[in-house]
Each structure stands twice: as structure tokens, then as C-alpha cells.
Chain A
Amino acid sequence: MRPSIVNDVRSVSTSPVLEMHGIDKSFVGVHALQDARLRLWPGEVHAVMGQNGAGKSTLIKVLTGVHPADAGTMHLAGKAIRPDSPKAAQALGIATVYQEVNLCPNLSVAENILAGRMPRRWGWIDWRAVRRLATESLERLQIDIDPDRLLGEYPIAVQQMVAIARAVGMDARILILDEPTSSLDEVETGRLFALMRRLKERGVAILFITHFLDQTYATADRITVMRNGRVVGEHLTQDLPKLELVSLMVGRAVAASDLVTTRRATAARPLMQARGLGRRASVEPLDLELRKGEVLGLAGLLGSGRTETARLLFGADRADTGEITLEGALLRLHSPRDALRAGLAFCPEERKTDGIVAELSVRENIVLALQARRGVFRHLAPREQRALALRYIEALGVKTADPEMPIGQLSGGNQQKAIIARWLATQPRLLILDEPTRGIDVAAKQEIMDRVLALCGEGLAILFISSELEEVLHTSHRVAVLRDRRKVAELPAEELDEARVLRIIAGHDDPVEELAA
């Protein structure tokens, strides 16, 4: 199903376009990179794999001049380089597209592509040339959109392609893609891969950072594995089986069964029921039942209404049809406050914008929801706050030197654990997890899910949303499938496999009898 763009290795030319050697980088007290190396060949996709904190980002930042290296050498096409700013790196032909699209949604596509290097005539911007150049760079990458429209009118996936068009510009030799697929669905990812293929054909070397193993295997010709700031191996993809890759990343042997969690049906009692719950232009009316001690998975493509459903159930958006009952009693949700009071909890998809308060400490972030439920005057004393934070830091394995550290300084996985801790501290009856493992490495992912599932065993109801079908199927007792903002199926997980869910999503398999039940 997944598109593959892996080269025949023999076609890769013999001398690398980029060589990094013996790269060392320390930050105050932390040795982020030690003797790191990296080689890139023109026309290849090279994946850098490693857990959070392995040094991938630092390596990229050294290469792009954000953090110049303390020691080591870099050669671009045989010439020694030492970029000391992103601008210098860009001038050398090293282009970067970051996870979060760094463009201006309120400017046109063409302006975004050419911002900072607008063609001028007699000191004035030559708008005709702007249009022509933008159209050319879009056509070269076969991105079929109108350069005059505002960037914000296009979905994130298209915005990302515009970011790539901007980055590649006229003559990039190296393109760094930092987690480009983390907000894309399967179809959009396929389109991105097609774009990467076209860039490869033009001889661009692509450095691809991702947490998705499948995508690495679908795209990468070569893999560099990092652990604890060191490079632990560089392999041709075809010579490195998945299990071995994971073992290299975690630094210990991993059994195939470690990668999956198997949970099967229970005779759980219902906790919360939604009937005909819907919101105009967001989700068509749907029925859902959450049961104590059970995980209900929500599957569907990006934009199928998964997050929207979760937001309705938590009162983050107002439903305009339907009703929710909690243990038989009608539950009116006007705001997340009401949901919090009723014992619901919601870990949102966008950790940065909806989850953490970056400048506040880990402790403050953890106690936030519990304190909000207690109100202004039933204040948790500092000592209680600290004890609570330390308890959850330990229980969830949050790696932080000090609970007083600003949460923004933690790695993504640890931030996510802290946000889950925030909600567990309220001792919820229902926990809604929207993409809880997005942008998190394999080991942390497994850890998070294990701990959440343990709580589920104690009677917590969970609504689990993930773009990774495999994860949904292995974690959930039941799975509801959404397509085009509509619930199209709900089945026990053991009756489903990936292929069947994909068929349901594609509309080739309509399990009508289950819907009627």
C-alpha cells in the first residue's frame, strides 16, 4: 500500500556530497554530540533515526548553522564548510523544512515562496516576476495550486509542500526534512513521498527525520542511527531489519512482542454515552459508548472528524445536536470546565499550542487541571504541589532534572508524559487521548501506552485517537471508524486488521450490520 521510493543502491553516485566528521557539541552541562558523523550522497534519501534526546536535532542544527559545532569538520562537495548561521547554511545550498510550518498564512503562496528574495526592478518589487518565479518553482515540483491565493487557505499538507518549494528554491543541494509527515495523513504522506522522489531525481540529497519506522523503510536508501549523542551505525536500509534498527536505537535487544500490546474484549460496564452528538460543519451526528476499563479506538484519516469528535465529548467545542449521558445522568458541556468537573480528561493533539504552558514549570503544568477543578481558593500548598508532581514524574517516568524546570525545555515525549500526568492527577473517569504518541520515539511511545493501559485495567475508560492504524488496533478493545466526518463502523478490535480498516475508510467494506447494532 505504501509508496516506496527506495533506490537501487548501485545507482547512487560514489562520492558523498556532504561529510561530517568528529562533530562535538556541548551545551551547559550536556554533551549533546560526541564524535558524530554523517555522510550524504546526491540523489539519496538518508534517514537519521534515534530516540528523543539521541542528538538528531542537534546534529541538524550543527549542519544548518543554528549551533556551530565545538569540534569536527564538515565538507560540502569536497570543500570544508563551517556555517555559523541558518542564512550561511542556506547560501551553501543546505535547505531545511521544519516540523512546524514556518510560513505566513496571511500572505499569498507566491509571497511565501519568495519572501526575503523578492525580485526587484528599480527598487520596487516586480510582482510579475514574483508570480512567474513562484509558478515555476511550484511547477518544477508538480504542486498544482494557485500562487495568488493566501497560503492559509490551503491545508497543512499543501503548506508543507510550499515550504519545501521555498526551501529548495533555485539550487539546494541538500534538503533536510524534520518530521515532515507528523501532521499528514496517509494520502498526503504519499504525495509528499512523490515530491521527495522528484527531488531525488534532480540529484538533491534528502536528510529525512521521522519517528515512523514504516516511512523510513518506504523512503530511505540509507539509515544513520544515533543514541546518546553518538552515531551507532550507518547502514543501507535493505541491510538493516526493522527489529535490529529498534535494538540499535534503544541500545538493547528488542523482542518482536515488545512492539505490540495486545488487549482483548472485556465485558465492561458503560460509563458515558453520546447519542446523535454532532456539530455543523464539523461532525455529523454520531453515537459513541465509552465503557469502564475499556479502550475505544477512533480510526480514520486526518480530517475525518476524529479530533472534532473528541472536542465535542470534552466540551471544547459546543455540540449543536445530540446529548451525552454520564452513568445515566444527562451531562451538559458548555466548556472544558464542565467536562473537568464531571471527571473527563483530554490530552489534545497539538501539544505545543493546546497542551503545555511552555514557560511554566513541570510542577505547575502537572497541577494545573487539578487546581482548576479545586478553584481559586482551595489552593494546593507548595509542598503538596511538589509531592504531587514528583509522584507523577516518577509514575510516568518523566525525565527532568527538577520539577521546577520550565516544561518547554523538556523533550516532546517528556512533555507529553507531563500532560498525561496533569490529567491523571485529576483522577478522571474518562481519558481522551488525541494522538498521544505523535512525534515521540518508539520506546517512549510504548512506555506511555503501557502506563495508560495499566490505568485502564483499574477501570478508567479511554478514548484513543491515533493516525497509526497499527497502534489503534493493538491498543483498543473496540474501534470506531470515521470517514468524512461520519462514523461508518464500530467493531471489536479482534474482528479488524489494518487492511480491513483501510477498506472501510476507503468505502469498500461497509459493515452495515454492526452499525445497526
Chain B
Amino acid sequence: MTPGAGSITRPSLAGLTRSAQFWPVAVLLLLLATNGILNPNFFALSWREGHLYGAPVDILNRAAPLMAVALGMTVVIATRGIDISVGAVVAIAAAVAAALIGGKLSIVEGQQTYETLTSMPIALVAALGVAALCGLFNGVLVATVGIQPIIATLILMVAGRGIAQLVTGGQIITIYYKPYFFIGSGYLLGLPFSLWLVGGLLALMAWLKHRTALGLFIQASGGNPAAARLAGINARGLLLAVYAFCGFTAGLAGLMISSNVKSADGNNAGQLLELDAILAVTLGGTSLLGGRFSLRGSVLGALIIQTLTTSIYSLGVPPEINLVVKAVVVFAVCLVQSPEARAWLFRRRTIA
């Protein structure tokens, strides 16, 4: 992505396996191939009513909220932090958007018309703003008060569900406003609109990482906070920005999810999403110890998780054991990606 900054890699297999994204890509391809073998129609794409249809598109579309959250989580993890409140923030953003839009269906002169309580742009800005404020609150706890990130964000993880339920009045708010559904289930140029949102997010973050000094500053403060401070980097400002941004991406995911299911459930929206996001980031090759981070890796990680979830359902794994199957596959994927585990397996084989 940065011209002139990439290291020289020879096109050998060994060089290829050392590249940061080799194992995530390999795992994803393996999962897709398994699907392709077990379900010959898996890769069948069709063009209907100007939309692209098919299982891969479906996976991409369903993975969109997770990709957004994982991208925000990536920069938080890069600063040696973690944000376990993102699931709750998803619920808050969804609740705010749903409460502001609400909407009702009325028949005017024989036509179905939708009315909103608040105009949609204001509702969207408010939902994203509240989500970013939630992130900023985490940032203040971490950067200014100095609470450990996992504890700091645990506060909002618990309290956030309560806030979301206060906003929705303890009910599941159903949204009756058609334009809002476009975010989570609309199509633009044949592709799901949520993919365009995630693509835009990824492009924005890649630009910030490579075309501004943010990438360097985040990786330096994550890699060695003391050294970064002495080099003149404003760690506090950086942390506030990073946590606020993570909140913002969770808000975006909240919009996609509530738009897709046409309702906001303070209790269940984004449930356990924080764990999938952390998993996506680690599968993508970003270390939980902070420092170097990979945006592409996190997107791949999110796709791996969603592909796995979709495959489990579509292959008809009995629902009572599908979580176990998922856990086993995730465990195997982690092993494959660990250089130590590969070295161990390899050594065992040569001895035997």
C-alpha cells in the first residue's frame, strides 16, 4: 500500500508463507474450498434484478458489521488496549437510531407511505455521534484516568446494555421507515450497500495509516509506549482518538444490524460481537501485545469467522453442536497460524 516502503520479497514459497497475510488467506481459501466441495452450488453467482446473488455475496454482506467492528478494534489493540464494550455500543447506536426514526406506516391516498419521527440524516449522525462519545468515554478512562483497558471498557460493556434498554424503553423497537433499510439490506451497483460502507471505512483507515503519521504513531506507542512518549508523541490524544474511532465503527455496525433486522433490541443486538471482533483481529495477524497492525488482516479474520458460521449452518450441522464445531475450527485455525505450533508439528513429523 505504501510505494517504496514494502520490503523486498522473493516469490518463493518460503517467502510467501512468511508474508503477514499468508495464513489468514490460506485458511479462508481452505474454508471456501470445503464449502465448494460439499456444496457444488456454493460459488454459483447470479444476477437478478440488478443485484448480485450467491453464497459468497451473502457471507460478505453478513460479515459487514463484524468487519467494521474488527477494523475499529484493530487500532485499539495496536495501542496495547482492548475494547470489550463494542457489542454494547452496537446496541446503543441501534437503539438511538431506532428511537429517533421509529416511523409508522400510513396509507395516504391509497399509497403506502412511511413517516419518520426525526429526519434520517439527523438520526444517523446522532447514533454515530453517541457511539463515538461512548468510545471517547472509554478513551478517557484509559488515557486520562489510567484504568486498564479491559476493566475500563468492561464498565460500558455492562452499563451500555442498560443504556440501550433505557433508550428503547425496555422494548424491542421495530422500525417502519423504508429508506433506513437501505443501509443493511440495500444494493448499490449490484453489491450490498453495507459492503460499500465497510469498503469506505477500510479505505479511510488505510489512508490515515499510510498517508498520515497516525499509522506510525499508533504502532510506535503500541510497540513501546515509553519510547514513543520520549520521542514526542502525544499518547493521550492518540488513545482518545483511537477509542472514539472504535466506538464510531461499532456505531456503524449498529446501524447496519438494526437496519438489516428492521428493529433495535437493547438486550441482544451485537451480543458477543466484541469477542468475534477480537478473534478477527488476532486471526488477521495483529498481536494482542500491540504495535504492528494489519487492517487487511482484520478484514480477512472477520471473513473467516463469518464463512465458518455460514458454513456450519448451510452444511446442516445440528444446532446443538454448532458452537462446539466452531470452537474446534477456531482452535485449529489458531494452531495453524502459530509459528511455534507449526514448528512443533514439523519437528514431530521429521523425527517420526
- A residues with a Cβ closer than 8 A to B are 314, 316, 335-337, 339-341, 346, 348, 353-360, 363-364, 367-369, 371-380, 382-383, 385-386, 402, 404, 422
Shortest distance between the CB of B344 and any CB in chain A (Å): 14
Among B6, B211, B213, B229, residue most surrounded by chain A Cβ atoms (within 10 Å) = B213
Which of B211, B212, B216 sits near A364, CB closer than 8 Å?
B216
Main secondary structure of the interface of A (DSSP, over half): helix
Q: Check if B350 is an interface residue, CB within 8 A of chain A.
A: no
Among B7, B213, B223, B230, residue most surrounded by chain A Cβ atoms (within 10 Å) = B230
Q: Which residues of B215-271 have CB atoms within 8 Å of chain A's CB atoms?
A: 216-217, 219-220, 223-224, 226-234
Shortest distance between the CB of B107 and any CB in chain A (Å): 53
Q: Which residues of B94-131 have CB atoms within 8 Å of chain A's CB atoms?
A: none
Once the chains bind, are B223 and A371 in contact (CB under 8 Å)? Answer: no
> In the bound complex, what is the Cα–Cα distance between A360 and B217 (angstroms)?
11
Once the chains bind, are A353 and B226 in contact (CB under 8 Å)? Answer: yes
Which of B2, B6, B211, B228 sits near A357, CB closer than 8 Å?
B228
Shortest distance between the CB of B287 and any CB in chain A (Å): 9
Shortest distance between the CB of B232 and any CB in chain A (Å): 4
Once the chains bind, are A360 and B220 in contact (CB under 8 Å)? Answer: yes
Q: List 8 A-B contacts (CB under 8 A).
A: A335-B229, A336-B230, A360-B223, A369-B231, A376-B217, A378-B213, A383-B3, A404-B5
Once the chains bind, are A336 and B232 in contact (CB under 8 Å)? Answer: yes
A359-B223, A386-B5 given; A376·B214 CB < 8 A: yes
Once the chains bind, are A379 and B212 in contact (CB under 8 Å)? Answer: yes
Please indicate the chain B residues that have their CB under 8 angstroms from the CB of A422 in the complex. 231
Once the chains bind, are B234 and A337 in contact (CB under 8 Å)? Answer: yes
> In the bound complex, what is the Cα–Cα distance between A516 and B317 (angstroms)?
87
Once the chains bind, are A356 and B292 in contact (CB under 8 Å)? Answer: no
Q: Check if B291 is an interface residue, CB within 8 A of chain A.
A: yes
Q: Check if B318 is an interface residue, CB within 8 A of chain A.
A: no
A358-B224, A379-B211 given; A372·B4 CB < 8 A: no
Closest 3 CB pairs of A and B: A340-B232, A372-B232, A357-B223
Among B214, B216, B223, B231, residue most surrounded by chain A Cβ atoms (within 10 Å) = B231
Shortest distance between the CB of B139 and any CB in chain A (Å): 16
Known A372-B217, A382-B3, A402-B7; further 16 A-B contacts with Cβ < 8 A? A316-B230, A335-B229, A335-B234, A353-B224, A355-B227, A355-B230, A356-B224, A356-B227, A357-B291, A358-B224, A367-B216, A368-B216, A368-B220, A368-B231, A371-B217, A376-B213
A359-B292, A382-B2 given; A364·B230 CB < 8 A: no
A371-B213, A374-B213 given; A357·B220 CB < 8 A: yes
> In the bound complex, what is the Cα–Cα distance between A121 and B201 (angstroms)?
60
> In the bound complex, what is the Cα–Cα distance between A373 and B292 (angstroms)?
22
A357-B219, A357-B291 given; A379·B227 CB < 8 A: no
A-B contact count (CB 8 A): 98
Please indicate the chain B residues that have their CB under 8 angstroms from the CB of A382 in the complex. 2-5
A383-B4, A386-B5, A404-B5 given; A354·B226 CB < 8 A: yes
Which of A341, A354, A373, A377 sits near B230, CB closer than 8 Å?
A354
Once the chains bind, are B212 and A376 in contact (CB under 8 Å)? Answer: yes
Once the chains bind, are B233 and A372 in contact (CB under 8 Å)? Answer: yes
> In the bound complex, what is the Cα–Cα distance between A358 and B233 (angstroms)?
17
Shortest distance between the CB of A257 and any CB in chain B (Å): 36
> In the bound complex, what is the Cα–Cα distance between A415 and B83 (angstroms)?
34
Shortest distance between the CB of A271 and any CB in chain B (Å): 19
Please indicate the chain B residues that have their CB under 8 angstroms from the CB of A346 in the complex. 230
Shortest distance between the CB of B205 and any CB in chain A (Å): 14
A336-B231, A337-B234 given; A364·B220 CB < 8 A: yes
| Minimum CB distance partner of A383 in chain B | B4
Please indicate the chain B residues that have their CB under 8 angstroms from the CB of A340 in the complex. 231-232
Q: Contact mask B286-298 → A, CB, 8 Å, 1/0?
A: 0000011000000
Once the chains bind, are A357 and B213 in contact (CB under 8 Å)? Answer: no
Which of B220, B229, B232 sits near A373, CB closer than 8 Å?
B232
Residues of chain B at interface, number, CB under 8 A: 28
> In the bound complex, what is the Cα–Cα distance between A314 and B211 (angstroms)?
30
> In the bound complex, what is the Cα–Cα distance between A354 and B228 (angstroms)?
8
Shortest distance between the CB of B145 and any CB in chain A (Å): 18
| Minimum CB distance partner of B208 in chain A | A376
> In the bound complex, what is the Cα–Cα distance between A34 and B6 (angstroms)?
34
> In the bound complex, what is the Cα–Cα distance between A364 and B5 (angstroms)?
10
Once the chains bind, are A358 and B223 in contact (CB under 8 Å)? Answer: yes
Once the chains bind, are B7 and A404 in contact (CB under 8 Å)? Answer: yes
> In the bound complex, what is the Cα–Cα distance between A198 and B111 (angstroms)?
99
Shortest distance between the CB of A99 and any CB in chain B (Å): 18
Please indicate the chain A residues that have their CB under 8 angstroms from the CB of B292 in the complex. 359-360
> In the bound complex, what is the Cα–Cα distance between A374 and B217 (angstroms)?
12
| Minimum CB distance partner of B241 in chain A | A376
Please indicate the chain A residues that have their CB under 8 angstroms from the CB of B7 in the complex. 402, 404
Please indicate the chain B residues that have their CB under 8 angstroms from the CB of A364 in the complex. 216, 219-220
| Minimum CB distance partner of B224 in chain A | A357
Q: Which residues of B1-26 have CB atoms within 8 Å of chain A's CB atoms?
A: 2-8
Once the chains bind, are A377 and B212 in contact (CB under 8 Å)? Answer: yes
Shortest distance between the CB of A44 and any CB in chain B (Å): 38
| Minimum CB distance partner of A364 in chain B | B216
Once the chains bind, are A348 and B5 in contact (CB under 8 Å)? Answer: no
Please indicate the chain B residues that have their CB under 8 angstroms from the CB of A379 in the complex. 211-213
A364-B216, A367-B216 given; A359·B291 CB < 8 A: yes
| Minimum CB distance partner of A347 in chain B | B230
Among A348, A356, A359, A373, residue most surrounded by chain B Cβ atoms (within 10 Å) = A359
A335-B229, A368-B216 given; A386·B4 CB < 8 A: yes
> In the bound complex, what is the Cα–Cα distance between A368 and B212 (angstroms)?
13
> In the bound complex, what is the Cα–Cα distance between A339 and B232 (angstroms)?
8
Shortest distance between the CB of B80 and any CB in chain A (Å): 12
| Minimum CB distance partner of B237 in chain A | A376
Please indicate the chain B residues that have their CB under 8 angstroms from the CB of A383 in the complex. 3-4
Please indicate the chain A residues that have their CB under 8 angstroms from the CB of B233 in the complex. 337, 368, 372
Please indicate the chain B residues that have their CB under 8 angstroms from the CB of A373 in the complex. 232
Shortest distance between the CB of B149 and any CB in chain A (Å): 20
Please indicate the chain B residues that have their CB under 8 angstroms from the CB of A357 in the complex. 219-220, 223-224, 227-228, 291
Once the chains bind, are A337 and B232 in contact (CB under 8 Å)? Answer: yes
Please indicate the chain B residues that have their CB under 8 angstroms from the CB of A360 in the complex. 216, 219-220, 223, 291-292
Please indicate the chain B residues that have their CB under 8 angstroms from the CB of A404 in the complex. 5-7
Among A348, A371, A377, residue most surrounded by chain B Cβ atoms (within 10 Å) = A371
Shortest distance between the CB of B250 and any CB in chain A (Å): 23
| Minimum CB distance partner of B4 in chain A | A382
Please indicate the chain A residues that have their CB under 8 angstroms from the CB of B228 in the complex. 357, 368
Please indicate the chain A residues that have their CB under 8 angstroms from the CB of B229 in the complex. 316, 335-336
Among A336, A363, A385, residue most surrounded by chain B Cβ atoms (within 10 Å) = A336
Please indicate the chain A residues that have their CB under 8 angstroms from the CB of B224 in the complex. 353-354, 356-358
Among B4, B216, B223, residue most surrounded by chain A Cβ atoms (within 10 Å) = B216
Please indicate the chain B residues that have their CB under 8 angstroms from the CB of A336 in the complex. 229-232
> In the bound complex, what is the Cα–Cα distance between A385 and B6 (angstroms)?
13
Please indicate the chain B residues that have their CB under 8 angstroms from the CB of A368 in the complex. 216, 220, 228, 231, 233
Shortest distance between the CB of B288 and any CB in chain A (Å): 14
Shortest distance between the CB of B293 and any CB in chain A (Å): 11
> In the bound complex, what is the Cα–Cα distance between A404 and B7 (angstroms)?
6
| Minimum CB distance partner of A408 in chain B | B223
